[in-house]
């Protein structure tokens, strides 16, 4: 087994220069700790007669990460450390924020505005699943009441849950993952004590995962003022969820049957009908675009405020990568999937030829105070240093089935393998 202990190099902040008249100074580079990829200010359009809008102002950031220092006049460069012979980053990436991370080691290979707080849309359902999925057995049945479906936003995506009908928890999770059904989310939230209680639970879960860029207002990701997350946090949510076998099954499912209403058959007997549902993740199903080979979920989203968002996991050989893209600015069909595919291709090609810019944070207090050996073998005792770890409650590593046991990285006292079933396309 190989022992992984890697820290990223701190960035040196240059001295400030006097800003030219009538122009704001560009924000200085971030001095992020080794825990995370360096923060960059949000991208903005070149100055015009009116200043470009900013995203939600951060209330708090991961330790050591400064607040945005001002409005930049140009898009900041992506963060990555290239070795000789490494492939260049894909051209024409337009996502406001994105990240490429090794799902096994937690190393961040490259990022762009990783901690910019943006509306997450339905990718927030990954945090919802992290929070609620472990609470109810999948065979448990629930009869839907009208109050369970109250409060859904206008134009919500729906799977077709009907009041006064019973559904298993398994049915409802298929509705959440495949159709991004806000109706299924609201029913599961009702089972969990209601929407307000579920929002509190989700916020507590985010805090436990040290996802400090996230503020939850709705359990389904529907646009509301003050709701935001980041590419970094969404990657944490995906990595945490993928440790759960049911989560992996649901996010990797392309098609399924969903319970419908009761109708009389030819013999006059009432029987429960069903209808087919298909995953809205186009990189998984290949609807209108080429499916990505080796992809196994995780969650896509779209709202008018958030634009398109997506977090995906894919395997090539023994390498497993997570890619998150938020709100591509190019006006092309399915741009979020195309940019995700480009970043996957780059990540698989470059994984052995770039130095990581950071690692995914450890859950719990240990994640904010983890001491570990640096690449040169010296101990790093900085209180903000964070080890490469999984998104689970204990230390360890993440991997997909098919990775040889001898190649597993040992990142803590516990090493665990994630056994997953790759989707079969219908």
Annotated active-site residue 125? The verdict is: yes
Annotated catalytic residue within 97, 105, 157, 180: 180
Annotated catalytic residue within 97, 111, 125, 308: 125
Annotated catalytic residue within 40, 111, 122, 230: 122
297 Cβ neighbours under 8 A, 6+ residues apart: 177, 242, 248, 250, 251, 252, 281, 284, 312, 313
- Half-sphere exposure of residue 317: CA atoms within 13 angstroms, side-chain side: 7
Quote the CA–CA distance of 90 and 92 in Å, as a whole number: 7
Phi then psi dihedrals of residue 93, to 5 deg: -80, 130
* DSSP assigned state of 50: S
Contact 241, 416 (CB under 8 A): no
323 Cβ neighbours under 8 A, 6+ residues apart: 98, 99, 100, 101, 310, 311, 312, 314, 340, 343, 344, 347
Residue with tokens 């990022």: 111
Contact 39, 32 (CB under 8 A): yes
Tell me the C-alpha to C-alpha distance, in Å, between residue 142 and each of 145, 368, 409.
9, 40, 42
Query: Which tokens belong to 300?
Result: 């896509």
Query: Which tokens belong to 168?
Result: 């298993």
Query: Which tokens belong to 115?
Result: 């901690």
Residues with catalytic function: 122, 125, 180
């Amino acid at each position: 087994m190989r022992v992984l202990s890697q820290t990223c190099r701190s960035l040196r902040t240059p001295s400030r220069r006097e800003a030219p008249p009538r122009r704001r100074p560009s924000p200085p580079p971030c001095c992020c700790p080794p825990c995370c990829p360096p923060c960059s200010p949000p991208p903005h359009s070149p100055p015009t007669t009116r200043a470009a809008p900013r995203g939600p102002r951060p209330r708090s950031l991961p330790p050591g990460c400064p607040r945005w220092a001002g409005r930049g006049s140009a898009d900041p460069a992506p963060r990555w450390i290239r070795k000789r012979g490494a492939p260049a980053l894909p051209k024409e990436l337009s996502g406001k924020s994105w990240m490429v991370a090794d799902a096994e080691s937690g190393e961040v290979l490259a990022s762009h505005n990783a901690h910019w707080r943006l509306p997450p849309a339905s990718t927030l359902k990954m945090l919802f699943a992290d929070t609620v999925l472990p609470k109810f057995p999948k065979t448990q049945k629930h009869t839907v009441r009208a109050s369970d479906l109250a409060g859904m936003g206008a134009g919500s995506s729906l799977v077709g849950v009907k009041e006064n009908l019973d559904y298993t928890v398994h049915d409802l999770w298929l509705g959440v993952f495949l159709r991004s059904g806000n109706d299924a989310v609201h029913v599961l939230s009702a089972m969990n004590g209601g929407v307000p209680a579920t929002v509190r639970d989700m916020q507590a879960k985010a805090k436990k995962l040290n996802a400090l860029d996230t503020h939850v207002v709705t359990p389904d990701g529907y646009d509301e003022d003050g709701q935001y997350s980041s590419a970094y946090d969404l990657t944490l949510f995906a990595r945490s969820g993928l440790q759960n076998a049911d989560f992996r099954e649901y996010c990797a499912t392309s098609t399924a049957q969903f319970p419908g209403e009761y109708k009389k058959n030819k013999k006059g007997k009432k029987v429960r009908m069903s209808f087919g549902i298909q995953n809205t993740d186009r990189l998984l199903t290949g609807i209108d675009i080429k499916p990505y080979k080796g992809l196994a979920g995780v969650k896509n989203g779209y709202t008018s405020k958030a634009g398109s968002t997506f977090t995906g996991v894919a395997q090539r050989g023994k390498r497993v990568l997570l890619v998150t893209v938020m709100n591509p600015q190019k006006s092309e069909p399915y741009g979020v999937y195309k940019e995700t595919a480009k970043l996957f291709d780059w990540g698989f090609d470059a994984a052995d030829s770039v130095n990581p810019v950071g690692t995914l944070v450890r859950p719990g207090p240990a994640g904010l105070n983890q001491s570990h050996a640096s690449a040169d073998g010296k101990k790093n005792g900085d209180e903000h240093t964070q080890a490469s770890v999984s998104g689970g409650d204990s230390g360890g590593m993440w991997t997909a089935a098919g990775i040889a046991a001898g190649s597993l990285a040992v990142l803590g006292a516990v090493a665990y393998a994630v056994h997953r079933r790759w989707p079969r396309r219908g």
